[in-house]
Amino acid sequence: MAFRDLLEGVSRDTAPVSVDLEMRDRTSATGGMGVVYSDVIEAPGHSAALDVLVRDRLCEVFSVSPGELIDVLAWGMANPEHPVLVDPSEAEVFQCRQEPVDLYGIPIPRHYQEDVGRYQSASVIIAEYGGIRNMSYHRQLLRDETHCVARFVPRHLRTMYEMARANGDEVPIAVVNGADATVLLAAAMSFNENLDELTVAAALHNKLHGEPLRMVELPNGIAVPADSEYAMEARITLELDDEGPYVDITGTVDEVRQEPVIEYDSVYHRSEPVFHALISAGVEHRTLMGMPRAPTIKAAVSDVVHCTDVYLTEGGCGWLSSVVQIRPQNDGDGIKAIHAALDGHRSMKQVVVVDEDIDIADPSRVEWALMTRWQPDTDTVILSGQKGSSLDPSRNEDGTTSKIGMDATLPVGVNRGPYESVL
């Protein structure tokens, strides 16, 4: 299975389209149904796919329900395995090589007028340094034919980069675009320990596709998924440059910072490659941010109550707000679930807890549960002085915020008749 499997049945747009602002404008007319542009003006021979990595399509490709997918992701975290290394002759990503390297010839888009330039936002960085391998997402501003400026948030890759910089070293990396969905989901996961995300991807790939995840080494020794659309050999240099402004997942404009420069040494791609041109603050962005956090929240809640499902909401940008579905067995289970959910995802500032009869992905049904089953004075938890998310512009100057949880579950043993809708 490969990224191209996500494109089965996706609408194809054959009219010429520019990477400068036109893709997002045209895609918005599809209503989030997904589209592949086959005639990108700035990148002849390359296509671009948008809005294809969404929850419903993932469940269809994997033949699982949304709740089952969360459980499978959790299983992958708990059961990592090593991928299989194949010969370069067996790797689809080595079908073509760009000569010379020219990142302008790839459909890297500029989606918003407010963005300073063209950004690759769905590309995954695979880095190795000090015996540790990390795979993660970091937006990259296209600076020139062979350089990007990457925003490194304070996570594992930032730590790796700062360690290398202190030693005067560059960090060899691979930049991958258009990998299998299991790889993309694993890359979005975050762990407290240095768990190799590619081993989680390998476990998910084997479980969901029934075959090992195939990897191939680039000339710099970094292994990449063999059936990726693009695999680019690069280095995180010691140079810094301006990055931003950029429209982030909340739809607000992120500031300009001095960030590391990445120099690209070679670009490999499949024949007739399809670039994953994710729209920041769009449905794919929210999917990649939120879905990999749901298993962590569910695990935390399951430690204290019977949790059946978790959904990070679109209004909360797939990050700041969630709905947690539980099966209450004792009085106070809803309140316990609130505290556990907020502990399970420290960036979250709001959680609503509901019963199993509520569709947690339907905001109207969630609000209905609140209005018919929740009393603000007894069923609400408010916490002050909490660690906030850098994505929340309303956080305090010291980075703290307040958080709220609402228990919209029915008391155990209550006559449910008056609380159940016939609609």
Q: Give mean pLDDT in consecutive 10-residue pieces for the chain, a chain of 423 residues.
A: 89 96 88 89 97 89 88 93 96 97 98 97 95 94 98 90 95 97 92 84 96 97 98 98 94 94 98 96 86 91 95 90 96 97 94 96 96 97 92 89 97 87 78
Place of tokens 């084997």: 206
Single out the catalytic residue among 13, 51, 196, 248. 248
Q: What's the number of CA atoms in the CB half-sphere (13 Å) around residue 361?
A: 10
H-state helical runs in 102-237: 156-166, 181-187, 197-209
pTM of the predicted model, to two decimals?
Answer: 0.90
Q: What is the per-residue pLDDT for 67? A: 83
What would be the CATH architecture of the domain defined by 289-411? Answer: 3-Layer(aba) Sandwich (3.40)
Q: Is 362 a catalytic residue?
A: no
- The three-state secondary structure class of 168 is coil
Whether 307 and 139 have beta carbons less than 8 Å apart is answered as no
Domain ranges of the chain: 289-411
pLDDT value of position 192: 66
| Strand partners of residue 310 | 324
Query: How many angstroms from the chain centroid is the CA of residue 348?
Result: 16
SS3 content of the chain, % helix, strand, coil (to 5): 30, 30, 40
Given this model, what pLDDT does residue 318 score?
Answer: 87
